[in-house]
Amino acid sequence: MVVQPDTIIRSDRKTLSVSIDPLGRLTVRAPKRCSEERIFAFLQEKEAWISKHKRQREGAGARLPSENLDGFTFLLLGKEHTVSLVSGAKIGYDGENLRLFVPRESSRERLVRWLKENAKRILREVTAQTARRMGVAYKSVSISSAKTRWGSCSGDNAVRYSFRLLYAPKEVLEYVVVHELAHTKHKNHSAAFWDEVKRYEPAYKQKRKWLKDNAILMEIF
């Protein structure tokens, strides 16, 4: 069976590489002058790896919302919550039964706005607390809609998080905060950087794994 890529990206790179995103889409990165014959031969060589990882991602799309959000279940701080569409103007939250009551009109836009507001509130609090614990200073905290990075720290120590980090368990969220604040001391991923992270998050590898294993969450909304 011939493996068909979803996307081929050509650039000045010298080698071929293949990657599979959380939805199972296959991307090949190739040198500009690489022939299609060489690309498909490369895919044939990687067929076992591709098949394995595509199987691991089967059904991932079922975790994504349809147009009608009524009954949609997703993670908030690592716990499954269910959306119920209702009449009204405001979002209601039932923490005991893990349910969100979202107005039917513009439900998706309202829910995303609610998620961003709560992500900003929680992440500002956690960042302030963690910075005091680590003895570091940062410029600001902001929330983005990034789908490729859970967080970032700029050269002038402005910290930015994807609002989708709100889906992760609290301890995983706290690891990302430590990770970004460690960048206020180390602007790279050197051994010294990881030593700093480990000092405050000894189990950081397990939390990084959770983020990798649950990358599909970046596709929600």
pLDDT in tens, 187-196: 999 999 999 9
51 pLDDT above the threshold of 70? yes
Q: What is the pLDDT of residue 155?
A: 95
Name the pairing type of β-strands 158-162 and 140-144.
parallel
Selected residue with higher pLDDT from 145 and 2: 145
Once rounded to an integer, what is the mean pLDDT over residues 95-124? Answer: 96
Confidence class of residue 200 from pLDDT cuts 50, 70 and 90? very high
Shared domain check, 120 and 52: no
Specify if 72 maps to a domain.
Answer: no
216 pLDDT above the threshold of 90? no
CA distance 2 to 39: 11
Which residue, of 23, 38, 58, is where some domain finishes?
A: 58
Specify if 134 maps to a domain.
Answer: yes
Closest CA to 196 of 186, 210, 205: 186
Specify if 209 maps to a domain.
Answer: yes
Shared domain check, 129 and 213: yes
Shared domain check, 122 and 51: no
HEC-encoded secondary structure of the chain? CCCCCCEEEEECCCCCEEEECCCCCEEEEEECCCCHHHHHHHHHHCHHHHHHHHHHCCCHHHHCCCCCCCCCEEEECCEEEEEEEECCCCCEEECCCCEEEEECCCHHHHHHHHHHHHHHHHHHHHHHHHHHHHCCCCCEEEEECCCCCCEEECCCCEEEEEHHHHHCCHHHHHHHHHHHHHCCCCCCCCHHHHHHHHHHCCCHHHHHHHHHHCHHHHHCC
CA distance 135 to 146: 28
61 pLDDT above the threshold of 60? no
Q: What is the CATH number of the domain that holds 196?
A: 3.30.2010.10
22 pLDDT above the threshold of 80? no
Shared domain check, 38 and 129: no
Q: What sign does the CA torsion over 110, 116, 120, 122 have?
A: positive
Whole-prediction pTM: 0.78
Order of strands, edge to edge, in the sheet holding 158-162? 140-144, 158-162, 151-153
Shared domain check, 53 and 151: no
Once rounded to an integer, what is the mean pLDDT over residues 43-50? Answer: 90
60 pLDDT above the threshold of 60? no
**Are the C-beta atoms of residues 161 and 138 closer than 8 Å to each other?**
no
Selected residue with higher pLDDT from 153 and 56: 153
Specify if 36 maps to a domain.
Answer: yes
Tokens encoding 41:
């031969």
Confidence class of residue 1 from pLDDT cuts 50, 70 and 90? low
Q: What is the pLDDT of residue 150?
A: 96
Specify if 80 maps to a domain.
Answer: no
Shared domain check, 120 and 24: no
Specify if 126 maps to a domain.
Answer: yes
Shared domain check, 132 and 49: no
Shared domain check, 193 and 115: yes
57 pLDDT above the threshold of 70? no
Specify if 92 maps to a domain.
Answer: no
Once rounded to an integer, what is the mean pLDDT over residues 142-159? Answer: 95
Once rounded to an integer, what is the mean pLDDT over residues 95-112? Answer: 95
Closest CA to 95 of 113, 112, 82: 82
Count how many domains the chain has: 2
Shared domain check, 41 and 111: no
Mean pLDDT of the chain: 92
Tokens encoding 67:
């147009």
pLDDT above 90 covers what percent of the chain? Answer: 78
Residues spanned by the domain of 21: 7-58
